[in-house]
């Protein structure tokens, strides 16, 4: 029995689900293709405006009940969601591989990331703490408390079709919110499977519809969702172009956004780096997930003292990377998501060469079914225009530096600001990288690559990455509304700032 049969995804499925299950009936049918070999693995009938309306209404109705439930009880529901994900980890992980082409351990890792989020959220549900302040007025108590926000729209990209939803949705659930998920049209089956597993848990608690799913065209349902006045928060992961639009629309109605957009992440390999460590980290960061993570390493700056031998070793490693079927044991590089991604890869390589780049490894698509390209290493000046772009493919641009200040400046010179790393055994170099004049990114690592962050920290970045923070730390605050409370337990009414306003 295939994973699609086990997860009951073999028939045509609906791209809209709220209370009472799935209901898109009139939209066009999307054919879902596996990037592994280009074969059809499913069909999804897309949601239309009327379907979205039902999903929003169901979510709004479920929110009315849910918001009064104590947060630790909401945490118990999230714990049960974590259990369901655990029980189906193998199937969901394999589905992720089949649908978006991740190697098996990364497909499983993705589901593990969602499970980790559930575990974290169970504890967090008892820790949604507000501060207490000392009032300047006698007999007054001043505190802050956090209430649920309402309906949270979660827009996700194809590359983390389960985990990024969990970063948002599970935190939103403990916060007491309803969630409407609009996944990428490139990964609808993982969304349907994940949604249905969670819906079973919610239905058992009489909370059907609290997690809505809407799979449809951006122009039809995406646009309506971000414009909807009943949605106070839109959390969106994807390109800077998409984020700019979401920000303008949602900002225009003075609602909130949480944006996790493009990255253009660099690793610095300093003169005193542990080169074995750096080599493995650069390979995983640049080539893992076929270069399709927002945290992928796209730029490498190596100190001149170690550049020759390090780049040679890297070229050697690139030449032996096993590329192919991601579900096959031993494969480290799977396919890109689709033919469009391969075309973008080829265009970027051509531009890099035109801008003076020397291809040290890869540079070509592979002649086989599916959407495979060879991991590519290009020696190119740090300030060549193409280096400023995020191409969602395994292309790593390499340049050589003489002093750390310049390398840090190169790291910071791009428009994006997500993740960054330095490899060094020097406390001075590491601290310079982490200092206020160091990396300008949301993530700054020492002797760890740019990708593969744990969920306990807040994930997100600065500049065109969008400024949002998701997953751990105090990211939950974005999904709640803060209320400052001052209680006067005296029989007088002193005014703050010494203002006098005596009436009568
Ligand atoms: C993304 O690519 O959108 O840090 C998320 C990482 C993963 C998440 C990446 N935990 O690489």
Q: Which residue bears the tokens 């060094």?
A: 424
Q: Are 152 and 177 in contact (CB under 8 A)?
A: yes
Q: Is 294 in the pocket of ligand 1 (CB under 6 A)?
A: yes
Q: Are 122 and 457 in contact (CB under 8 A)?
A: no
Q: In the Cβ-directed half-sphere of 353, how many Cα atoms lie within 13 Å?
A: 13
pLDDT for 20: 84
User: What spatial distance separates the first Cα and last Cα of the chain, rounded to whole Å?
Assistant: 83
* Residue 297 per-residue DSSP state: E
pLDDT for 504: 80
pLDDT for 193: 98
Total Cβ atoms within 10 A of residue 332: 19
> Ligand 1 centre from 158 Cα, in Å?
12
The burial of 157, by beta-carbon neighbours within 10 Å (0-12 exposed, 13-18 middle, 19 or more buried), is given as buried
Q: Measure the CA–CA gap between 116 and 310, rounded to whole angstroms.
A: 35
Q: Measure the CA–CA gap between 408 and 281, rounded to whole angstroms.
A: 19
> Ligand 1 centre from 95 Cα, in Å?
18
For the CA of 292, the nearest atom of ligand 1: 2
> Ligand 1 centre from 239 Cα, in Å?
14
Taking CA atoms, 483 is separated from 71, 134, 144, 149, 357, in Å, by 16, 16, 5, 11, 55
Q: Is 451 in the pocket of ligand 1 (CB under 6 A)?
A: yes
Q: Is 48 a catalytic residue?
A: no
With a CB cutoff of 8 Å and minimum separation 6, the contacts of 218 are: none
- Nearest residue (by CA) to ligand 1, atom 6, is 452
Pocket of ligand 1, candidates 451, 465, 468: which has the most ligand atoms within 8 Å of its Cβ, to mutate? Answer: 451
Sign of CA dihedral 339, 342, 344, 346: negative
Point out the residues of the chain with pLDDT beneath 50: none
Q: Is 294 a catalytic residue?
A: yes
Residues comprising the chain, all counted: 504
Domains defined along the chain, listed by start: 3-261+466-483 (3.40.605.10), 265-458 (3.40.309.10)
pLDDT for 497: 96
Radius of gyration of the chain (CA): 24
Catalytic residue among 121, 162, 283, 294: 294
Q: What are phi and psi of 45, to 5 degrees?
A: -85, 120
For the CA of 260, the nearest atom of ligand 1: 3
Pocket of ligand 1, candidates 295, 421, 454: which has the most ligand atoms within 8 Å of its Cβ, to mutate? Answer: 295
User: Is the pTM value of this prediction over 0.85?
Assistant: yes
> Ligand 1 centre from 430 Cα, in Å?
23
Q: Is 149 in the pocket of ligand 1 (CB under 6 A)?
A: no
Nearest to 262 by CA among 298, 289, 215, 208: 298
Q: Is 184 in the pocket of ligand 1 (CB under 6 A)?
A: no
Q: Is 159 in the pocket of ligand 1 (CB under 6 A)?
A: yes
Taking CA atoms, 254 is separated from 169, 203, 224, 227, 461, in Å, by 22, 33, 16, 11, 22
Catalytic residue among 110, 260, 390, 470: 260
Summarize pLDDT for 434-478 with one digit per residue, the tens: 999 999 999 999 999 999 999 999 999 999 999 999 999 999 999
Q: Are 232 and 256 in contact (CB under 8 A)?
A: yes
Q: Is 453 in the pocket of ligand 1 (CB under 6 A)?
A: yes
Total Cβ atoms within 10 A of residue 205: 16
pLDDT for 205: 97
> Ligand 1 centre from 451 Cα, in Å?
6
Residues paired with residue 379 on neighbouring β-strands, in sequence order: 358, 398
Summarize pLDDT for 78-113 with one digit per residue, the tens: 999 999 999 999 999 999 999 999 999 999 999 999
Q: Measure the CA–CA gap between 216 and 16, rounded to whole angstroms.
A: 8
> Ligand 1 centre from 190 Cα, in Å?
17
Q: Three-state SS for 170?
A: helix
């Amino acid at each position: 029995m295939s994973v699609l049969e086990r997860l009951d995804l073999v028939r045509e499925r609906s791209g809209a689900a709220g209370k009472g299950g799935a209901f898109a009936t009139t939209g066009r049918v999307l054919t879902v293709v596996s990037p592994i070999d280009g074969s059809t693995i499913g069909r999804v009938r897309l949601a239309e405006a009327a379907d979205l309306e039902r999903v929003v209404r169901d979510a709004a109705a479920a929110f009315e009940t849910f918001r009064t439930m104590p947060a630790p009880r909401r945490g118990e529901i999230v714990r049960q969601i974590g259990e369901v994900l655990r029980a189906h980890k193998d199937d969901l992980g394999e589905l992720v591989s089949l649908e978006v082409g991740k190697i098996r351990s990364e497909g499983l890792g993705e589901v593990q990331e969602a499970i980790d989020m559930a575990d974290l959220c169970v504890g967090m549900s008892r820790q949604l703490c507000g501060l207490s302040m000392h009032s300047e007025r006698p007999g007054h108590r001043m505190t802050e408390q956090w209430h649920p926000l309402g309906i949270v729209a979660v827009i996700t990209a194809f590359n983390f079709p389960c985990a990024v939803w969990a970063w948002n949705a599970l935190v939103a659930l403990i916060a007491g919110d309803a969630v409407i998920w609009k996944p990428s049209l490139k990964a609808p089956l993982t969304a349907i499977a994940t949604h249905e597993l969670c819906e079973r848990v919610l239905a058992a608690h009489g909370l059907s519809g609290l997690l809505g799913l809407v799979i449809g065209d951006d122009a039809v349902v995406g646009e309506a969702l971000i414009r909807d006045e009943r949605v106070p928060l839109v959390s969106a992961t994807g390109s800077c172009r998409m984020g700019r639009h979401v920000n303008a629309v949602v900002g225009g109605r003075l609602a909130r956004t949480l944006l996790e957009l493009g990255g253009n992440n660099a690793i610095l390999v300093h003169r005193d780096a542990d080169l074995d460590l750096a080599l493995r980290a650069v390979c995983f960061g640049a080539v893992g997930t076929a270069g399709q993570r927002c945290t992928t390493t796209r730029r490498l700056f190596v100190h001149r003292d170690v550049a020759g031998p390090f780049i040679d070793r890297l070229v050697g490693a690139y030449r032996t990377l096993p590329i192919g079927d991601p579900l096959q044991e031993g494969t480290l590089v799977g396919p890109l998501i689709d033919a469009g991604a391969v075309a973008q890869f080829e265009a970027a390589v051509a531009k890099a060469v035109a801008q003076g780049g020397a291809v040290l490894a890869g540079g070509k698509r592979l002649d086989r079914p599916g959407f495979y390209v060879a991991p590519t290493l290009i020696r190119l000046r740090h300030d060549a225009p193409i280096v400023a772009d995020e191409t969602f493919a395994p292309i790593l641009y390499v340049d050589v530096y003489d002093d750390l200040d310049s390398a840090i400046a190169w790291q910071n010179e791009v428009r994006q600001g997500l993740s960054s790393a330095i490899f060094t055994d020097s406390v001075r170099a590491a601290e310079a990288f982490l200092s206020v004049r160091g990396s300008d990114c949301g993530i700054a690592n020492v002797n760890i690559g740019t990708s593969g962050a744990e969920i306990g920290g807040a994930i997100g970045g600065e500049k065109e990455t969008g400024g949002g923070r998701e997953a751990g730390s105090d990211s939950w605050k974005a999904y709640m509304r803060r209320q400052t409370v001052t209680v006067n337990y005296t029989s007088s009414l002193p005014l703050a700032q010494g203002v006098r306003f005596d009436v009568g």
